[in-house]
Structure 1
């Protein structure tokens, strides 16, 4: 069997129990070495063959999977965070489908969850934002025009940007041109949940300056929105005394 496992954001204890159990019994592990915490490999049993996919092409990864599966080996493809976000797993699964190889996905904790935990944020505050947009700025890899940052930012929802911390000046420009005010709260979280985690609170206007002053240019999330300030939100109606629910009558 082949398992796609979300390794979590960095902290080795943030892999799921199920993911850890499968990792411990794996015969072959192909891990995203540029992003996954290598300490997770300590869970592997003695003799496990380990490959770093940062140094491999898709075709090379597939060849290892195919040959290992033909030997009835348990194969783990270990991706950072939750691989459903920017994990490049669909292209792998499509090829495995063509080869009639069985696989299963084990979800993980995404870095956008770890970043919120680090900052003690709630992305969806009543009367502030009830929508979270997860996206990235166009760089070497294109983004559909309808999903340009300028277009998405115009909704004034909470924005969480992956793969954009090396282009903070461009992010700032796109946000301002969308109509977002320069004083809108923002945050940058570098390597959320890792020992070397770094978090910076700033504004849209000071975003690029904050990144430069803290030497952050990769492996970081950018969060934009009023939720960062944690103020001016309404109390949840669910727990309000005058609000009836299936389990409690209003007082």
Structure 2
């Protein structure tokens, strides 16, 4: 059996209880290199085989899983954050299905959730933004034209950018060209929830210089939007005049 486990954003105590249990029981753990906090491996039992997938191809990962299956051993594939976001699990799942190897996906806390917690922010604020766009800049991995930063920027919704820290010159231009004002607030969260986490506040126009000055070019999330500002409307849910299923509002 193979379990895909989301390791959480970085802090060792932000893995789920289910994920922690599986780590303690695993015979083999194939973990996502520098993206996963190595202290999580301390949860593994004595004798557990630990492999860093940063040095492996997809085929090599699957070969290790096959070996475990032949030996009736349980494997954990430990991914950073939640494996459903830029986790490259679909290709693994398809190969496992072709080999009739059973698997289960265990969700984790994504780094975009960890980043919001670190800065004390809410992505969805009444009359500011009710949508969150999770995306990335085009780099060596292409992005469909219909999902370009410029096209998404036209919505002026909250945007969370993964895998874009080394491309902020172009990112800034595309965000502004798409519709965001140059003074739109930005928060950069480097290694969210890790012990060496760093947070930088800036605007879209100053983003490239802030990244350069602080030598941030990887392992950071870029959060964009006016949810980082000070103006918003109060939620109706807790408004004393608002009636809903569980409470009658004051007239």
Query: Structure 1 length normalisation: TM-score?
Result: 0.99
Equivalent residue runs for 1:1-251 within 5 Å? 1-229=1-229, 231-251=230-250
Q: Deviations over 1:223-250 (max 9, x none)?
A: 0000112x11000001111110111001
Question: What secondary structure is seen at the aligned counterpart in 2 of 1:166?
Answer: coil
Q: Per-residue deviation at 1:180? A: 1.2
Question: What secondary structure is seen at the aligned counterpart in 2 of 1:165?
Answer: coil
Mapped contact 2:187–2:200 kept (Cα < 8 A): yes
Q: Distance in 2 between matches of 1:127 and 1:157?
A: 11
Q: Deviations over 1:79-103 (max 9, x none)?
A: 0000000000000000000000100
Question: What secondary structure is seen at the aligned counterpart in 2 of 1:150?
Answer: helix
Mapped contact 2:156–2:179 kept (Cα < 8 A): no
| Alignment RMSD (CA, Å) | 0.5
Q: Per-residue deviation at 1:124? A: 0.1
Query: Structure 2 length normalisation: TM-score?
Result: 0.99
Structure 1, unaligned stretches of length 5 or more? none
Q: Per-residue deviation at 1:20? A: 0.2
Question: What secondary structure is seen at the aligned counterpart in 2 of 1:238?
Answer: coil
Q: Deviations over 1:108-146 (max 9, x none)?
A: 000000000000000000000000000000000000000
Runs of 4+ in 1 over 3 A off after TM superposition: none
Q: Deviations over 1:135-165 (max 9, x none)?
A: 0000000000000000011111000000001
Question: What secondary structure is seen at the aligned counterpart in 2 of 1:221?
Answer: strand
Question: What secondary structure is seen at the aligned counterpart in 2 of 1:77?
Answer: strand
Q: Per-residue deviation at 1:34? A: 2.3
